[in-house]
Structure 1
Amino acid sequence: MINKKYMRVIFDTNIFVSYLLTKEDKNTIVSLVENIFAGKFKLLITEDLLEELRKKITHKRYLAKMIKIGDLKDVLMSLHEIGEQIPKITGKFPSFTRDPKDDYLIVYALVGQADYLVTGDKDLLILKKIDQVKIVLPRQFLKIIKHF
């Protein structure tokens, strides 16, 4: 049985990339990540998501130049420590989005009984909601947790 005491949330990798790029600034993304550590909601993580984050930063030259590998490792370790791990799902994912590479996020959000998927990805945002999962922008989610 899943504990629904806390709001359950999954972040798209673009949230963590933005955090690593701007973590010295006080902005929406930094505030979101700070709220994870403050325990305002339960962050759901998956090995697929963490691997996508690692690959995105280490394989895209412009990101690799701007983000220190030590900072990436620190974030990955912190996410492992505080996030609730959703077991790995194998096989072909059903199609939900215009970009099949995004479908795994929807599947994990549904399996993990997430309340929200937070993303800046237009292919996901256009869906608005699938079953119980509301798909919102970071600034929208920040407003939601202020009232929670």
Structure 2
Amino acid sequence: MRVILDTNVLLSGLISPNGIPARLIEAWLDRRFVLVSHAVQIDEIRDVSRRDKIRALVRPAEVGRLVNQIGLVADMPADLPYVRRSPDPRDDFLLGLCEAGNADWLVTGNKDDLLALERHGSSRIVTAATLADQLGMSKR
């Protein structure tokens, strides 16, 4: 199974270590699925994590560790196709990543744009809870 975790899901996993996004990160690191990412997303993680609101919740070292893990373990397609489909153009790279990475799932918390699309090509666009259910992760 090939999965893209949106930046909001990855950072939520760092902010709430007992939440579903954190458990999805654990599942990825346990090799329960292949994480698909890209340099564009790594740049976004770094940028968003430097915002005052996020810095108050997550230590830079935690973000750095996550970025390093993504760089070492995730599947990182070299090139992304140009896509213009999301109501938020800043999320179009994730849809391109769905195509380039042959992702089965795009997991996001963006209710008003990405989740509203439901699918992109063969990729289903779902919440973290939906993927956790698919992985058979019991609620704690």
90, 104, 120: which one pairs with 1:130?
Answer: 120
31, 37, 44: which one pairs with 1:52?
Answer: 44
2:90 is equivalent to residue 101 of structure 1: yes
1:5-44 map, 5 Å: 7-23=1-17, 26-44=18-36
Find the structure with the greater CA-based Rg.
1
Code of the residue aligned with 1:139 in structure 2: it is A
The separation in 2 between residues aligned to 1:79 and 1:30, in whole angstroms, is 14
The separation in 2 between residues aligned to 1:63 and 1:139, in whole angstroms, is 22
2:107 is equivalent to residue 118 of structure 1: yes
SS in 1 for 2:36: strand
Equivalent residue, structure 2, for 1:4: none
The separation in 2 between residues aligned to 1:115 and 1:142, in whole angstroms, is 14
The separation in 2 between residues aligned to 1:63 and 1:47, in whole angstroms, is 20
SS in 2 for 1:146: coil
SS in 2 for 1:140: helix
SS in 1 for 2:31: coil
The separation in 1 between residues aligned to 2:83 and 2:3, in whole angstroms, is 21
- Tell whether the 8 Å contact from 1:47 to 1:88 is kept in structure 2 after alignment: no
Q: Determine what percentage of the aligned residue pairs are the same residue.
A: 25
41, 58, 61: which one pairs with 1:70?
Answer: 61
The separation in 2 between residues aligned to 1:118 and 1:141, in whole angstroms, is 7
Q: CA deviation at 1:89?
A: 3.3
The gaps in structure 1 that reach 5 residues or longer are 1-6
TM-score w.r.t. the length of structure 2 is: 0.92
Alpha carbons of structure 1 residues 89 and 110: separation in structure 2 relative to 1, 3 Å: closer
The separation in 1 between residues aligned to 2:15 and 2:97, in whole angstroms, is 25
Runs of 4 or more consecutive aligned structure 1 residues displaced over 6 Å after TM superposition: none
The separation in 2 between residues aligned to 1:102 and 1:70, in whole angstroms, is 26
Code of the residue aligned with 1:65 in structure 2: it is A
CA deviation vs aligned residue, 1:4-45 (integer Å, no higher than 9, x gap) = xxx01111000111011112xx22111111100111111001
